[in-house]
Structure formats: C-alpha cells, structure tokens
A and B are shown apart, each in its own frame.
Chain A
Amino acid sequence: DSGVTQTPKHLITATGQRVTLRCSPRSGDLSVYWYQQSLDQGLQFLIQYYNGEERAKGNILERFSAQQFPDLHSELNLSSLELGDSALYFCASSESGSDTEAFFGQGTRLTVV
C-alpha cells in the first residue's frame, strides 16, 4: 500500500458527461501529480500541484481541470467526455515535489461509452 488513495477505482460514463476523480496523497506529502495511462499514448503527465498551487502542466486537455484543496487532497475534473478519454488515471504524491520518490495510487479506470 503506497498510502495514496484514489476514488473511485472504476467509473463508467457516457460521452458528453463530466466526472470527478479524487486523490488523497500520503500523509505529509505536499505535491500531487496526475498521470493518464492509455493504450495509444502510454503514461502521460497531466498536471502537478504543490501545496495548493499549480506547479507544472503537461499534456492536459482544456476540457480537463484539477485543483488541490487546503487539506491537500486533489481532484481531477474531466468534462465533455469523449471515447478517447477512456484510460487509467493515476495520482502520485511526493513530499516536496523534487524528491527522489513519488508514490502512486492504484488508479481510477475510466471507461467512456
């Protein structure tokens, strides 16, 4: 158990809908990262937050947004969903964001039908 909790584990939704994925980082970790794993794109970095502030942005679509709350949990919002958004979404956390180790959650598998 990495200590990073992601909910839900599985999500099935229709095209055009909006979903929210939730991540609770390890206790004490200030930095949260979101990654998308799909068959065609592999593991792609989406966005990073550090202590509530956005720190880095990767290949995140405009339809997607994220935030980190004062209690350090993070949410990834995906809207106007398309079939191609079906993927495994991982959250990772690290103590400061420039550490040697990021701990990954089990992921949320999103299926858009």
Chain B
Amino acid sequence: GEDVEQSLFLSVREGDSSVINCTYTDSSSTYLYWYKQEPGAGLQLLTYIFSNMDMKQDQRLTVLLNKKDKHLSLRIADTQTGDSAIYFCAETDSWGKLQFGAGTQVVVTP
C-alpha cells in the first residue's frame, strides 16, 4: 500500500469550501506538500507546510497539519470551477524525493 493516503474523489458546489484530507506515515518528513494537476498538464505546487507548523494560510488555501495523527488537510475557500483538478498530497525525505498519494479528483459543480 501507499505511504501517503487520500480520498479519491470530492464533489463540491461552486462557492462552497473544499476540504481534502491526507494521511502520511513518515514522521521525519520536514515538509508536506499539496500539488495540483489539471488535465494534460504537469504538477503545480500549490502550497507546502513545514512540519513544525500547525497551520498555513495562503489566500484561499489553508493547510492544517496534525503531526500526532500524521494528518494533513487542504481547505480551498470559495471554490471555483477553475479549481477542478486532481490534488496530490506529498511528503518528502531529506533528499527532496517526493512520495505522493494517489490524488483526489475534485469536481466543482455550478
């Protein structure tokens, strides 16, 4: 099984908040990441959080980290149709190698 787990699908109405959850296993990860992949495109880094932080906010994005439970979440406020994509949670080792989850497909409906 994968070391990073996330739910596979999320449907959200335009204007609502989206919350994508992720669990990871490597407690030594220094940084945890959220990447976005739109159809036919590469991976875009959305945000990351340092492991000694609990929360990070960046415009519409809020990342919450619970180190005790190894749980990471990404909240997207005021979700727009342009937010429809696959979102990947990832942890990294000291060499910068990324271990990705399977990705959560977010579908935004009008």
Contact = CB atoms under 8 A, between A and B. Distances in A.
Interface of A: 2, 4, 31, 33, 35, 42-43, 45, 48, 55-56, 58, 90, 92, 94, 96-107
* Interface footprint category on B: 20 to 34
A56 B97 contact: yes
Contacts of A100: 31, 48
Interface stretch (B10-18, B21-29, B36-44, B73-81): B36-44
Contact of A102 (B2, B98, B99, B102): B98
Contacts, number: 57
B49 to A, nearest CB: 10
B88 A43 contact: yes
A104 B42 contact: yes
Nearest to A4: B42
A103 B99 CA distance: 15
Given A42-B100, A43-B88, A104 B43 contact: yes
Interface in B78-110: 88, 93-103
Given A2-B42, A90-B42, A105-B42, A98 B100 contact: no
A84 B76 CA distance: 35
A9 to B, nearest CB: 10
Contacts of B55: none
28 contacts: A2-B42, A2-B44, A35-B98, A42-B100, A42-B101, A42-B102, A42-B103, A43-B88, A45-B97, A45-B98, A48-B96, A56-B93, A56-B95, A90-B43, A92-B43, A92-B98, A96-B96, A97-B96, A98-B96, A102-B45, A102-B96, A103-B45, A104-B35, A104-B42, A104-B43, A106-B41, A106-B42, A107-B42
Nearest to A88: B42
Contacts of B88: 43
A90 B35 CA distance: 14
Contacts of B41: 106
Of residues A4, A43, A58, A105, which shows the largest number of chain B Cβ atoms within 10 Å of its Cβ? A43
A20 to B, nearest CB: 19
